[in-house]
Chain A
Amino acid sequence: DTAVSQTPKYLVTQMGNDKSIKCEQNLGHDTMYWYKQDSKKFLKIMFSYNNKELIINETVPNRFSPKSPDKAHLNLHINSLELGDSAVYFCASSRQGFGVTEAFFGQGTRLTVV
């Protein structure tokens, strides 16, 4: 009964490949996010979806494409992987509204591009 689960936990792949990371939340939240954490632990938001609608799309290469089939799922597809894509990717969810909106995070997917 994990609140936010993402798969896989580890992903090692060669440059140029296409890969997907899946995320599911069972909290009934209406907003989901993808964050990228670099080797210095810095967290950068990539995308945010609210009720399956894209609301935040930061400056991210268009090789990255999020897909939200429903409110409980937000997948991340990456085309033509590059060495610089190596990082830990975190999915998160929250209840959107004015005021306190804490986010719940998945365990992360460590992507290594070789």
Chain B
Amino acid sequence: GNSVTQMEGPVTLSEEAFLTINCTYTATGYPSLFWYVQYPGEGLQLLLKATKADDKGSNKGFEATYRKETTSFHLEKGSVQVSDSAVYFCALNQGSARQLTFGSGTQLTVLP
């Protein structure tokens, strides 16, 4: 079946530090890949997505590249802000699966 493995947290960084949150997946075929963000007390929001190999999703300074050869979709940001503190979820959707498969989430805390 499909699965998503995320880097375990929590991750604590200082403001303006570089962020990487690793995500690898297992799926048959060609899934679509997503990063969702959950701010404290809120629901999940789509952060970015990529639908095919070598696609790069980007939003709010975050980027992730769909790497089929390494089955990865790592999230990066060059300079994090305190407001980026949240839980980040990697997810995949394979056309036939009819649901999103989520990773376990990574808590990010950015200190001023």
Interface string of B24-59 (1 = CB under 8 A from A): 000000001010101000111110010100000000
Complex: A90 Cα to B98 Cα, angstroms? 17
For the A-B complex with A101-B95, A102-B93 known, give 6 more contacts whose Cβ atoms are closer than 8 Å. Answer: A4-B43, A43-B89, A96-B98, A101-B32, A103-B100, A105-B44
Residues of A within 8 A of B105 (CB): 41-43
Tell me whether B51 and A41 are in contact (CB under 8 A).
no
Interface status of B104 (Cβ within 8 A of chain A)? yes
Interchain nearest-CB distance for A112 vs B (Å) = 14
Given the known A-B contacts A43-B89, A100-B32, A100-B51, are A108 and B42 also in contact in the complex, defined by CB atoms under 8 Å? yes
CA gap between A33 and B99 in the complex, in Å:
8
Given A106-B43, A108-B42: A45 in contact with B49 (beta carbons within 8 A): no
Chain B residues with Cβ under 8 A from A84's Cβ? none
9 smallest beta-carbon distances between A and B, as pairs: A105-B43, A98-B95, A41-B105, A105-B44, A43-B102, A107-B43, A100-B32, A101-B93, A100-B51
